[in-house]
Every structure is written in structure tokens, then in C-alpha cells.
Chains A and B, each alone.
Chain A
Amino acid sequence: MTWNRKDILDIESLSVEEIKSVLDTADGLKEISERSIKKVPTLRGKTVILFFHEPSTRTRVSFDIAAKRLSADSISISASTSSLVKGETLIDTARNLESMNPDVIVMRHSSAGTPYLLSQKIPTPIINAGDGMHAHPTQALLDMMTVREHKKELNGLRIAIVGDITHSRVARSNIVGFRKMGAEVRLAGPPTMIPAGIESLGADVVYDFEEAIDGVDVIMMLRIQKERQRNFLFPSEREYAKRYGLSMARLKKAKPDALIMHPGPLNRGVEITPEVADHINSVILNQVTNGVALRMALLYLLAGGLRNAADH
């Protein structure tokens, strides 16, 4: 197919064909990272700005490496080094960046919806690298890539997503993405962490962890943020680990070959025991590896113009 989309703002706006096209492209580009010379000239002369208004290590490094492996010049801006701390508005900062003619802006922001705001104000393609609790489309795409790699087909799979659904942009984007690709999605977590009306995205909600993972093909554990304890979302890490931590004993409820996933960073001993994190079925590090290929694919599709992705 021909790629016509300017921005990657969320999963909702992508068609099934577009998602497949991104995943196919990423599959093809993955091999570059396995070479001894990990660089192709595809995006030589292109500029990618990594505009991170919220702290990030994994995602930013992943994009940075992805850009460099395609020979694009990547520049990082974080909240503390940008003029935002000097009182400049987000739109003004973006317009200034725009004036330096970048080819793609990758942005992360703590406020939901900011990539929409920028995409309306500037013509440069924008990739949403996470906006508040709203969306994290590149994480969902790399998760779909990882599952597809192991299970061949997403259609018909059963996926359980467990943890703080309310505050998770990863969960939201994955629910939408996996549902779109024909998988069944179950959500589990304490009711304090299940947001109102989440079923409307097509997911089933069960509060009981073991029921949620019964017979599933994939278990995706979400990070528990310790600071949430202050919001009365859970009494203690100890109790959370007991009720919602993925242990070897619980893992038996899932299919024997169920994939274990986590978007990171891990809280070993809280939402996941160390044995499960390092289990043979854990693909947590494959997710990170695939993240680079997936982001290379998106940069290529957005900055590379209108070439047919499958031709690569």
C-alpha cells in the first residue's frame, strides 16, 4: 500500500491495513540492527527532533537509535533544556522547531492531547511518543509486532492486560490495537484502577486476576507507579503484589506457551516476580529490540515520502 498518513497520533486513527503495513515494514528493517555495520543511508539528510517534555529513557533512546540507523540526524530536546522552562508556550516552542525545517517531530508530553494541538499548528509529521494517559501508539505497535512474531497471527488471540489501566496510555493503545487486529482483550486490576466506560473500547473487565489470565495467549503486566499509593488506589505494594502480581503459580492459569510482556520499567517483586520476568516465555526484552525496528519503520514511512513500504 501507499503510505499517506502525515502523523502517528494514536492507534484509533490507523486502519488495519496501515497497522499491517507498519508491522511488515518493521519486520523488514529489523535485520539492520543485527548487522555489524548497523546503518543504512535511507534517511540521510533528514532531521528528526525528539521533543520530550516528560522524562523518558527507553522510548527516547529507542527513537534516537532508530533515527541514527537510518542515517537521519536526530536532536533531543527535553523539558529542562527547552525554552518551556522559560515560560514559552508549547505552540511557540513547536513553531520555533518547525522553523528549522525538521522532517519528523517525535514528541512526548505529560498532557493528553498535545500531539493533536501541535499537529493542527505545524505541518511537520508528528509521532506521538506518549501523551499523558491518552496514547502510546509506538508502544502498542511494537507490542503487536512482538506478539505477531511469536504467534504469527493476531486475529483470535486472547490477551490479558493487568494493572493500573486508568493511568496507562500503553493499555489504552494496546486495547484499541489488539481489538482492531481481531484479538480478544481482557482487563484486570483493582476497581480503583479500571476507568469508567473502558468496556466501550471493546475489552472485557474482570477484577479477578486468575480469571483474567485463564487460558490466555498473552499476559501484559503494567507498571505500578508507587506515587499512586497516595491517591488511595491501593493500600501497599505488598498487598498489590499478593493480589495482582504475576507469579509462577499464577502463570499456570494461562496457556503453557503464553507470552509474558511488560512495557517497562519493571518493578520486580511488585507486579511481576523475578522468576516470571526472566521466564523462557518472557518477551520483555524482545519488545525493546522490536521497538527500534518499529520506530525505524515509522520514521521511514513518515520522512521517507510516499514510496511503497513493501518495496524496501
Chain B
Amino acid sequence: MRLIIKGGHVIDPGNMDAVVDITIADGIITDIANSADDFRQKDCHDIRIIDASDCFVVPGLIDMHVHLRDPGHEYKESIETGIRAAAAGGFTAVCCMPNTHPVNDNRQVTEYIIKTAAQFHSVKVYPVASISRGLKGHDLSEYGELKEAGAFAVSDDGLPVSDSQLMRRSLEYAKGVGVKVISHCEDPDLSAGSMNEGLMSTRMGLAGIPNAAESIMVMRDIALCELTGMPVHIAHVSTKESVHAIRDAKLRGVPVTAETAPHYFTLTDEAVRKYNTNAKMNPPLRSTDDRNAIREGLADGTIDVIATDHAPHSVLEKEVEFDKAANGIIGLETALSLGLKLIEEGDITFETLIRKMSINPSKIIGIPRAVIVGAPADLTIINPTRSYIYDVEKGFSKSKNSPFNGWEFKGMAVYTIVNGRVVFESK
């Protein structure tokens, strides 16, 4: 099976920026040329040509922070539906967090996720195992065995590692095993609230979560990173102070990387108005100042990655009292459009966006990716001008908890290609 992508504007930051044709055979990029041979006459059954004129062709997008809810909470999402949502959002790979049921702190769960995902020959799934056994924050999970089973990183995402000694040991031990550590930064004593602390929480009478609940832990993890010399990746950065701390640390040469989510550079706590539980997440949506700082952090390289923190929840968890509602929103199917909106608003360039959504996550998780001959054909084709109205009911995720329902977007993934296979194409 051959695939030819014709006439697309290939943007592979640092490698290529040109209108070329890409030929793919058996899942591998076999040719990149100004004009590909037209194979149609020779072998018309075994070839597919995609017209990518007016589109960008980029190295496949990677979402390094999703919750697939499988095993255990399949009524919210399954590996199958999560993969379909990812493909529809232009992602060729996702990294799934370990807060499943049972927790991914053992070989069986890691292998289950990898095997299940592989059945669909679609989006690649890279499991993240837990830092602590059972996410309980007491003992280390067995990183050695988890790595053998296929986990590339560890995180207690959803919960902070409160015990600084445990965090230190995790970084040190992970260094020996060769897994990444991803930190959910939150001081649980400071974060006993259900939205951002500020004007809105005061008006709405909801207990607030101050910025310091996050930045204190970011600063701690930077200190531990300096102590151990082991890189740490900070998940879902939401505050100005965290951006400042990470920027300063990077200037000192500390091996820290960071991600933010589209909702943090798009929305503020105003979105919670009328007790909208689809705008409730942890960390919470912050102030305009914070949102602007996140955008600056993306532009100047302080924040390396855009990841969705795709967190499916059903109406059972969301159509309830605000303070009792579960944290999190789905994001796989809106991330790229929200990123493109950021370009439209002049905050970042297209190239920067592709770095944040593909190149940088690939480096952090250690999966090389490039649009070069001989590389696996994981590609996303983006039509930057096609407009649409996002209808969450028509989405692929099992859950519908999005604050972006009904938003008008310009630009979307039109083809998602994994190992040379078209795993999504928009109608």
C-alpha cells in the first residue's frame, strides 16, 4: 500500500519548510520530492493520493497528557473511543495517565493498555505509570518492571506527591531506570477549593484555590530537580508564578520542562460563571493575568508543550453541585483549533505551535519524529482555513464535558496518518 500526499506545505520545524510531495510505503516515508512519481498508471489498486494543497503537513501531533479511563471507568471513555477522539483531533500519539482503576502501577495494566491500543492500528498509545504504588504517595511503584512492560514515564497525575522525600527518591530512582517523571504540582493544604481564588470565587461563594497552591510545588520540584540532576516535567501549568519559576530555572540551566493545556491559554475563571461544571478542572481556570503569562511562556519557550489533559467525565460527575463535580474537561478534539486560534491572535507562530504539539513532546518522551525518508509516516494534515462549529454531541469521545461546545473555529486536522495509515479523515 502506497500513499502519496501531494502539494502540501510541509512544516517540520528545524528540518523542512517547503511544498513537496511525500510518498509513503509500508508505513515508512520513502520519498520526499518536488513532484512525486504518479504511480497510478502502474499500480492503480495499491495507491492512494491525498491532495494536500492549501494544507500544512506536519509531523504527527502528540498529546502527552490524556486520561483514557480504561481500565475501570469505561463509561467515561475507553481506549478505543479515546483513540478515535485523538485521531479526530489530529493526534498520532497520546500518553495516558495512570489514574485508572486499577491504577497503572503494575505490568498487567501497562501491558493491557498497550495490547488493547495496538488492536486498533491507529493512534499510538504510550502509558504513563504511577510514581507511587496505588497513587497513595507512600511507596515507589516498580519502575523497572513498568519500563520493561512499556511505560516510558511515571506520574501521580491527578494527585500531587506531597512527600518531598518520596519525590526526591522518585527522581533519583527514575534516573537509574530511565523513565521520565511528570509532576502534578499542587499543595493539597492550600488547594481545598473548587475554583480559582479571586474575584469570581468571592462573588460565587466558592472556596478558592490560590495560585500559590501550584507554584509552591513547582518551586519545590525545581529545587529537587537541581538536587538530583534529574529532569522533571511539570504538568498542566496554569499560573503566572509557575511560568516565572520555570523561566528562571531554565535560565539557570535546570533540566525542567513544562506543559500547559489549551484551556489555560484560552479561558479564564469567568467561564465558571453560572456554576458551569464543564469549566471546572484542577488546576482551575485562572485570571486574565495568568492566561497572558501562559501565552508569553509559550511564546518564549518557557513552556515546551501543549497537552490537553483530556479528562472525560459523564453527566453523573458533572450534572451535580459545583463543589461536588469532578475536575476535568475533554480536549483532544479542540486542542489543535485552539492552538491555531492562538496563532490568529498573534501570540505564537505556526512553527512554534508544531514544536509544542509534536517536536517537543517527542523529545521529552523519547520518540524521535521527523518528516524524513526512512522515518515512520506519522503525519497530520492541517487545513488552516476551514471553519466549523464545534458540536460536542458529534464528537468521538464518549464524554461531552467541554466548555467549548458551540465555539466557532477556523482550522482543523483533515487527515491523521499513523504508520502510513489514514486513521482519520474529515468529511
Contacts and interface: CB of A to CB of B under 8 A. Distances in A.
Interface of A: 89-91, 109, 111-114, 116-117, 131-135, 169, 172, 195-198, 200-201
A163 to B, nearest CB: 16
Interface stretch (B104-112, B170-178, B198-206, B338-346): B198-206
B274 interface: yes
Nearest to B197: A196
A263 B320 CA distance: 29
A111 B322 contact: yes
A197 B206 contact: no
Interface string B231-269: 000000000000000000000000000000000000000
A114 B205 contact: no
A112 B204 contact: yes
Nearest to A131: B205
Nearest to A91: B319
B208 interface: yes
B120 interface: no
A114 B274 CA distance: 10
Nearest to A172: B205
B275 interface: yes
A67 B89 CA distance: 55
Contacts of B201: 195-196
Contacts of B199: 196-197, 200
A91 B317 CA distance: 12
Which 10 pairs from chain A and chain B are nearest by CB? A134-B205, A113-B275, A197-B199, A111-B321, A133-B205, A112-B205, A195-B202, A113-B322, A111-B323, A197-B202
A132 B206 contact: yes
A182 B207 CA distance: 29
Contacts of B208: 195-196
A133 B199 CA distance: 14
Contact of A197 (B198, B319, B321): B198
Contacts of B197: 196
| B contact face: mostly helix, strand, loop, or mixed | helix
6 contacts: A90-B321, A112-B275, A113-B204, A114-B322, A117-B275, A197-B203
B324 interface: yes
Contacts of B204: 112-113, 134
B203 to A, nearest CB: 7
B207 A133 contact: yes
A111 B324 contact: yes
Interface in B182-213: 197-208
B283 to A, nearest CB: 16
Given A111-B324, A112-B322, A117-B321, A134 B206 contact: yes
Nearest to A173: B205
A117 B200 CA distance: 18
Interface in B296-339: 316, 319-324
A90 B322 contact: no
A109 B198 CA distance: 23
Interface residues of B, number: 21
Contact of A89 (B274, B275, B320, B323): B320
B403 to A, nearest CB: 16
- The DSSP consensus for interface residues of chain A is mixed
B319 A89 contact: yes
Contacts of A135: 205
A27 B199 CA distance: 35
A111 B321 CA distance: 6
Contacts of B275: 112-113, 116-117
B187 to A, nearest CB: 15
Interface string B271-283: 0001100000000
A114 B320 CA distance: 8
Contact of A198 (B202, B207, B320, B321): B202
A146 B379 CA distance: 70
B326 to A, nearest CB: 13
Contacts of A117: 275, 319-322
A169 B321 contact: no
Given A89-B319, A113-B205, A132-B323, 19 more contacts: A89-B316, A111-B321, A111-B322, A112-B275, A113-B204, A113-B206, A113-B274, A117-B319, A132-B205, A133-B205, A134-B205, A134-B206, A135-B205, A169-B205, A195-B201, A196-B202, A196-B208, A197-B202, A197-B203
Contacts of A200: 199, 202-203
A79 to B, nearest CB: 12
Nearest to B199: A197
A128 to B, nearest CB: 11
Contacts of A91: 319-320
A135 B13 CA distance: 53
Contacts of A116: 274-275
A109 B321 contact: yes
Interface in B63-106: none
B198 A133 contact: no
Contacts of A132: 205-206, 323
Contacts of B321: 90, 109, 111, 113-114, 117
A46 to B, nearest CB: 28
A106 B321 CA distance: 17
A247 B199 CA distance: 32
Contacts of A113: 204-206, 274-275, 321-322
Given A131-B205, A195-B202, A196-B198, A112 B323 contact: yes
A112 B206 contact: yes
Contacts of B206: 112-113, 132-134
Nearest to B323: A111
Nearest to B196: A196
Nearest to A168: B205
Contacts of A201: 202-203
A4 to B, nearest CB: 20
Contacts of A109: 321
A300 B228 CA distance: 70
A172 B201 CA distance: 12
A256 to B, nearest CB: 34
B323 to A, nearest CB: 5
B389 to A, nearest CB: 23
A17 B414 CA distance: 55
A112 B204 CA distance: 7
Nearest to B272: A113
B213 to A, nearest CB: 13
Nearest to B192: A231
A113 B320 CA distance: 10
